[in-house]
Structure 1
């Protein structure tokens, strides 16, 4: 009987065990549905799946939570666990495994490790889970991001035994330059990580190919823009680069192909050709084709491989013109004034006795034999057209039998345009400023602008005007003095023979500035919660920029372009004032609060032997050696000035004996204005 009872109890327990086993369900390790790593950006997402074992139903309100470990793969600290997603169910009973699907899961923006692990946790019911193997999670926002190394330039050193060059990273997001210190960095040399290099700069001392990148583990090959361009560092032993030509020597006839080139050509190098020590504009390739005229001379090629290997020069070669040239050609275009006889002039080194002919359009006007190096032709009135001079160089004096020509277009003008400008670079304190006629052009019926020659200026009568009023000056230049108070200037021209419209130049404002402009500060003290206004001298012709000095650097205050600036913070400010001619900075104004400017400066003195207020007495801090005090009379003359600290020196040392009612003062500390105002003298 007991034996049967024991068997019954065992059966009951076995049944209970089977029931418990069926009640507890397990969640397998979650995994990516595709790929092996989650490389996240702002525009992508990922799907994950976990397998739920068969079993009885779970509570209908149960949710499955996809959780991400800390970067080391640990779930020990709940604060470091991040919830990625949660779904409701599947919670029904199942005799087979079920899928728990998590879709469109984004990667946390702080994720950056190859060692993260995942698990799925149930909020209700008796459910266990399995932690995944490591899955790389990395986030990198590469939209519009550009990482540029060393401004894209390779590092090339030449003809040295060793080198050292620092290369650096620049990061931009569209037009915005980002702080490189906001990123982590690693450096590669020839595709291999350089241990210990994590700064945005790298000192390169070896040849190789270098690249910087933001480290994103196993996602390095997935993200497109987490890495910079590659920069090659090389040490080049440059041999004797020379100028060569396919011809037998450097002597040419004008009609031959005259090509010079570098003996070593690399289109990544920078080239500049020189003739007779003058750089040839636009000739910046490894080859040059010489013109048919005036090509003889000494040629040098300058080569730059990099900023550290630059200005290498070849040995000079002398190119000889075996034929003849036109050494002074005709101008490209000329204006023929009414009643004017215009003389065309060319110069040539063709042998005396060569044949020449002048042609207008297609008609030969005159021909003859040269008697010297200069050939001229007088164009008659109304002789507009296309002109050409041709020269057949005399053989055998010219073995090339050179055929030379030069062309110009002669047009009539319907009107004229005058340009006036200052002579040379103008300093704001320059006195006087000389302005002059810099260009006069004739404008043809089809709108072509053709410069007049200086000889043609004599056909015009000129007159200078200031603010619309004649100055009486009729020369081609005018001195404008500070005492003249500037103004707007024009030059007017009248064609003497008549028949052409009068001409007025551009309007040129002349405004004088000094280097000691003091800003007005109103009120002088910046109260808490209030503001002060800085004011610079106003002029319609001035443009203004405002700056604040921060840590010794001038920082532009955006969108402040008037002559006033409202300031709500203490600091040192100045205005940069520009005229049409020059730019000057005002004296820096120090804006301080009540504590900074708490020492009172008297604005009234009463000299005359009454003991008190005889002298202008300042607080003790103005006795320091970096203080400068300047006092001006009402007409702007310096009445008193002292460097190295002030000690009640005025009006004892007053140039005017303090006989005026009002004086103006400026107090500077280390060349920065700290206070200015007026002094009233009461007698």
Structure 2
């Protein structure tokens, strides 16, 4: 018999148990869902994928990536931001963190890892470290990636050009040692100057970094190859050679090693090929050939081809290898085994109306040699030499091309030399005369002498042919001051300071008549004083303001303005009036030129009180004038962290003191300040703060 009540009871229990089981399953599923919804998505450390280092220019960019872990969707407006640490790799200071770029997503939910990609990211222009690190941050949720390993980030403007020492080599001769300052300049793509102090620097000698030298200039005391470089860490190779200057070789030359050479010996016949050469040929050097003590005009190559005429003599060669080394070779004697015309005809001559012009040549051809005078193609006269002088009188109106030919007598002339000299004789339509001071004039000189320096005849073709001094006798001369005759009729005139401000000219009248009078250039005469003081308005340069420097105004003056930097005079381009507007502290002066002379004004010191106190003197005048007997520095350089070192011109330490400077030099000079130029370096806490030169004037 079936117990219905029992079955009903158990069935009810089963149903209740199933409901409890289903509820438990639902609760588990809900719990799992809540856990999944709350799971944090992670970002791995980002990496640079497009290059080993981020070596940035104005035009390139780099790719970075980071892995995003699986998970539910992120807000649709979420951006991932790529951030750069400070130069040490730290993210501790928010103000030192740089945003490199950002991308939208991926924000979708996913069961697989996805990539966050950043493309064409530029390197910040102030980045210069091998120790940067990067991270990725989400904009809408609190997710920050792991920090990357160190990545080199360096920026360099590859349009810049770094020039060392003006591309000039450093060459010394006739010295055992030396000291020389070299410096860099930087030009942009438009050839504008770039402030070298905005860049970091390091120096290399023979390929090795020079420790502790980080300024844009360097004092060298050893031979070697020097290069200045903007240090860019692991990117140095990438930017090489753009981030480095030209190489400058510093060397010592033995003058005895440089001589004049030729292919055989130094004896030639006139018709032979005759070449002299320097044993050292470098077209960056300046050469000047000298014969018998006189410079040969235009002969500035390392070799010289001797002419067929009058080439015998004593030759030397001056070579300027650098601004610090100019040498002159031992002389060589070149022998002419034949003959020469030792005084040839001038290149051109003017034949004045009514004048009988005498042509004259001098020769060392043997007596008895044959000569011929030729006009155009016609032989006018021929004969036998009886001495060194041969003449010919050109008849009135005898213009034309003239030539003398000499056949040297054999065997007295073993070369059987054939000599000639030529000139062109023309008539003048008018005359031009030039007056100028007869010598280089000192601005303090009183009086000065002005003179006729050139008188030429102007031909129908416009050629200018100098007149001979004998032809001056065909003219009457007269001097004028501001259009008024002075009564002076000689070829020169003394002008005193009392005549300053006048304009002078010389007039010439051709005495036989028939030709126009000649009037010289107008020559303003303005005397200058050597103690001109510039006006400074206002006298103190306030922050953000300017001052105006004013020199004496004169329409006949020309002006150049200079600032003194590190003891050197630096021309201020484009400033050619009598005023200069200044916005920076410094030492300024004007160079004023007149038709007579040039003088520098007194130096004007521009700056506020603090700036003025830091100026370093670059000249001392020992010898009892008290004010400039000693090299006196501003009071701030007497502090204990200051070190002063002074070098002589041969690189030896002449003075050195730590713990502050107190006008100790030249009293404590090892050389008694006997040289003209010294170099100084001032350091504060082992960092160079000032360097330059000192000129000793006695």
What TM-score results when the alignment is normalised by the length of structure 1? 0.75
Deviation at 1:358, TM superposition (A): 0.8
1:112 and 2:128 correspond: yes
Aligned position for 1:220: 236
CA distance in 1, matches of 2:565, 2:226: 36
From 68, 77, 80, give the equivalent of 1:64.
80
| C-alpha separation in 1, matches of 2:149 and 2:563 | 56
Partners of 1:479 and 1:31 in 2: how far apart? 85
Q: 1:186 to 1:343 in 2, by over 3 A?
A: same
Distance (whole Å) between structure 2 residues aligned to residue 282 and residue 205 of structure 1? 36
Match of 1:349 in 2: 364
| 2:289 corresponds to | 273
**Structure 2 match to 1:170:** 184
Change (3 A) 1:439 1:236: closer
In 2, the alpha carbon distance for the partners of 1:219 and 1:552 equals 36
* Cross-structure match for 1:333: 348
Distance 2:341 2:291 in 1: 17
Distance in 2 between residues matched to 1:153 and 1:522, nearest whole Å: 40
Q: Unpaired segments of 5 or more residues in structure 2?
A: 1-16, 609-625, 628-698
Measure the CA separation in 1 of the matches of 2:252 and 2:564. Answer: 43
The answer as to whether partners of 1:413 and 1:444 remain within 8 angstroms in 2 is yes
SS in 2 for 1:129: coil
1:187 to 173, 184, 203: 203
Distance 1:564 1:142, change over 3 A: closer
Q: How much has 1:204 moved relative to structure 2?
A: 5.0
**Which residue, 395, 408, 416 being the options, matches 2:431?**
416
Q: Deviations over 1:149-174 (max 9, x none)?
A: 343344456788x7565453312224
- Residue pair 1:170, 1:177 contacting (<8 A) in 2 also: no
Report the equivalent of 1:649: none
How far the C-alpha of 1:280 sits from its partner, in A, is 3.1
In the TM superposition, residue 81 of structure 1 has moved relative to its aligned partner by 2.0
Q: Which one of 490, 513, 520 corresponds to residue 475 of structure 1?
A: 490
Structure 1 residue 80 displacement after superposition? 2.6
Aligned to 2:376: 361
- Among 89, 101, 108, the residue aligned to 1:73: 89
1:294 aligned partner: 310
CA shift in 2, pair 1:142/1:303, >3 Å: same
In structure 1, the gaps of 5 or more residues are 594-624, 627-683
Question: In terms of mean alpha carbon deviation, does 194-203 or 120-129 score higher?
Answer: 194-203
**Number of corresponding residues:** 590
Provide Cα deviations, 1:82-131, integer angstroms capped at 9, x if missing partner.
21112222222334444433334221122111221221111223645233
* Separation in 2, partners of 1:404, 1:302: 31
CA distance in 2 between counterparts of 1:214 and 1:589 reads 35
Distance 2:441 2:258 in 1: 44
Tell me whether 373-382 or 565-574 shows the greater mean CA deviation.
565-574
1:26 aligns with 2:37: no
Q: Distance in 1 between matches of 2:24 and 2:113?
A: 34
CA 238–503 in structure 1, closer or farther in 2 if over 3 Å, else same: closer
The residue number in structure 2 matching 1:402 is 417
Bigger Cα displacement from structure 2, 517-526 vs 465-474: 517-526
Structure 1 equivalent of residue 515 of structure 2: 500
The 1:456–1:563 alpha-carbon spacing in structure 2 relative to 1, beyond 3 Å, is same
Q: Work out the CA distance in 1 between the residues paired with 2:249 and 2:587.
A: 46
Q: 1:631 maps to which residue?
A: none
SS of alignment partner, residue 222 of structure 1: helix
Counterpart of 2:631 in structure 1 is none
**Distance in 2 (alpha carbons) for counterparts of 1:252 and 1:537:** 61
Give the CA deviation at 1:24.
3.1
Q: In the aligned structure 2, how far is the partner of 1:460 from the partner of 1:198? A: 70
SS in 2 for 1:124: coil
> Once superposed, what is the RMSD of the aligned Cα atoms?
4.4
Change (3 A) 1:10 1:114: farther
Give the superposition deviation at 1:55: 2.7
State the alpha-carbon separation in 2 of the partners of residues 512 and 207 from structure 1. 48
Question: How much has 1:228 moved relative to structure 2?
Answer: 1.2
Using the TM superposition, give the Cα deviation of residue 356 of structure 1 relative to its aligned residue in structure 2, in angstroms.
Answer: 0.4
Q: Which moved more, 1:255-264 or 1:6-15?
A: 6-15
Instruction: Compare 218-227 and 5-14 and name the one that shifted more.
Output: 5-14
Could you tell me how far apart the structure 2 residues matched to 1:591 and 1:68 are? Answer: 43
For residues 250 and 551 of structure 1, the distance between their equivalents in structure 2, rounded to whole angstroms, comes to: 50
CA distance in 2, matches of 1:260, 1:476: 43
Match of 1:82 among 98, 102, 109: 98
2:262 to 224, 239, 245: 245
Preserved contact between residue 53 and residue 97 of structure 1 (Cα < 8 Å)? yes
CA distance in 2, matches of 1:85, 1:297: 78
Quote the Cα distance in structure 1 between the aligned partners of 2:471 and 2:536: 55
1:262-281, Cα deviation, whole Å (9 max, x unpaired): 45656666544332233334
| Match in the other structure for 2:385 | 370
Paired residues for 1:249-648 under 5 Å: 249-263=265-279, 271-303=287-319, 310-311=326-327, 313-314=329-330, 316-484=331-499, 486-515=501-530, 539-543=554-558, 577-584=592-599
- Give TM-score scaled by structure 2 length: 0.73
Change in CA separation of 1:240 and 1:56 when aligned onto 2, cut-off 3 Å: closer
Per the alignment, residue 15 of structure 1 pairs with: 32
Answer yes or no: is 1:37 the counterpart of 2:79.
no
Aligned CA distance change for structure 1 residues 17 and 206 (closer, same or farther; 3 Å): farther
8 Å CA contact 2:45–2:135 kept in 1: the answer is yes
Deviation, 1:333, is 0.5
Q: 1:116, 1:134 within 8 Å by CA — same for their partners in 2? A: yes
Pair 1:164–1:245, CA change in 2 (3 A): closer
Q: Of 179, 198, 211, which residue of structure 1 is paired with 2:214? A: 198
How far did 1:414 drift? Answer: 1.3
Residue 367 and residue 556 in structure 1: after superposition, are their counterparts in 2 closer, same or farther (change >3 A)?
closer
Deviations 1:317-349 (A, max 9, x none): 322111100000000001111111111110000
**What is the aligned counterpart of 2:63 among 37, 41, 47?**
47
Distance of 1:236 and 1:68 partners within structure 2: 53
Higher mean C-alpha displacement, 272-281 vs 491-500: 272-281
Counterpart in 1 of 2:248? 231
